[in-house]
Structure 1
Amino acid sequence: METRRAFERLPHLLLTAMRRPRVGVMIARGDLAVEVGYQRLAEVQEETLWLCEAAHLPVIWATQVLDQMSKSGLPSRAEISDAAMGERAECVMLNKGPHIDDAVEVLDDILTRMADHHYKKTALLSQLHSWYRDPATADVP
């Protein structure tokens, strides 16, 4: 998922995808940030995770996870927090770089630690604010 339009239609896309035996959703967060703006990116990511969880579809957390680390060997603080959020997905995608082995080890450590904490907390799901509007009822007030 990399466009605002995909997010707007996510419920319909998930219902269609659920007809297939092997399917998942990749959140292409770099492209998505350009489409929805940085102000809404975290909210859109969260709603996507909720909807995919409800649909029992796996999520790939993608786009620049530990990117600086894989290239330079040192992660930024923001990358560590971002990688920790990847625990909510079933898969985390890393970009290649000369320090990719170190990035994989750090990611594994972060995700293992986060998994130990995640079960203790129950997310209180707020009302979803999806931009999706069913074309069949778009004109209905």
Structure 2
Amino acid sequence: LKADKGINFPETNMNINGLTEKDRKDLAFIVKNADAVNLSFVNQPSDVKELQKELEKHGASIGIVLKIETRKGFINLPKILLQAMQTYPLGIMVARGDLAIETGWENFATIQEEIMRLGEAAHVPVIWATQVLESLAKKGVPTRSEITDAALAQRAECVMLNKGQYIVKALKTLNEILVKMQSQQKKRQTMLPKLKNNESLSLIYAGPEKLSKKN
């Protein structure tokens, strides 16, 4: 077990409260300096209610981001949302690192989709997080699967990048990908635009003669 690493017990029902004593102390600083607070490992509506009560004690009206990263949190998400929607602003983070381990790799793709659908149905913005363009941010070169993953993030309202030596390059690349995807995808709806890339690539491979005729 290395530093900053955790252990998952996906099939264990651990009765742990949503907030620790350190969390309660940290809130005093958060409400004065932040616009929103992430609620990590939220498992049930009572976790959200506990945070809401603490925010009320501070007289704060900052937003809450629900980090869905456990099996229990995913199963209870509809009920969690009903409780959390008493707070505005509100967001959902698909915390894909722990969530994939908790729910199983073979299930994760559909679970990710269901979270997106629940967010859309509830009109709650969704944050697409964990390992987005991670190789690019850390090593300067993305993998092919990272590019398609970043493109799929167009369906969310927000995308979160992790830190890295090449984070500025990753940010610019992500922006370019998402801008181009706007004509292809809107939330879960495929836009079916004209095939522009197909035509431009055909002209390139056709040679200069056909290109000059086209112009």
Whether 1:22 and 2:103 are equivalent positions in the alignment is no
* Alignment counterpart, residue 98 of structure 2, candidates 17, 20, 31: 31
2:101 counterpart letter in structure 1: V
1:70 aligns with 2:134: no
Q: Secondary structure of the residue that 2:69 maps to in structure 1?
A: coil
- Is 2:190 the counterpart of 1:121? yes
Give the aligned partner of residue 81 of structure 1: 148
Q: % of aligned pairs identical?
A: 52
Which consecutive unaligned segments of at least 5 residues does structure 2 have?
1-67, 192-215
Higher Cα Rg, which structure? 2
Give the letter for the 1:93 counterpart.
M
Tell me which residue corresponds to 1:99. 166
Deviation at 1:116, TM superposition (A): 1.0
CA positional deviation for 1:27: 0.6
Specify which structure has the bigger relative contact order, considering alpha-carbon pairs within 8 angstroms and separated by 6 or more residues. 1
Residue equivalent to 1:60: 127
Q: Once superposed, which parts of structure 1, at least 4 consecutive aligned residues long, lie more than 3 Å away?
A: none
Code of the residue aligned with 1:74 in structure 2: it is V
1:11 Cα deviation after fit: 0.6
Question: Mind listing any 5+ residue stretches in structure 1 that lack a counterpart?
Answer: 123-141
Matched letter for residue 99 of structure 1: Y
Report SS of the residue matched to 2:128. Answer: strand
Q: Give the equivalent residue in structure 2 for 1:51.
A: 118
TM-fit CA distance, 1:14? 1.0
Give the number of aligned pairs.
122
Corresponding residue of 1:128: none
Partner of 2:73: 6
State how far apart, in whole Å, the 2-side matches of 1:37 and 1:114 are: 29
- Quick one: distance in 1 between partners of 2:162 and 2:72? 25
What amino acid maps onto 2:146 in structure 1? E
Whichever residue aligns with residue 61 of structure 1, its letter is W
Tell me how far apart the structure 1 counterparts of residues 71 and 176 of structure 2 sit (CA, whole Å).
33
Q: CA RMSD in A?
A: 1.1
Letter in 2 for 1:47: E
**Within 1, Cα distance between the matches of 2:176 and 2:165?**
19
Distance 2:190 2:169 in 1: 29
CA distance in 2, matches of 1:41, 1:53: 18
Report the TM-score, using the length of structure 2 for normalisation. Answer: 0.55
For the residues of structure 2 that align with 1:45 and 1:90, how far apart are their CA atoms? 14
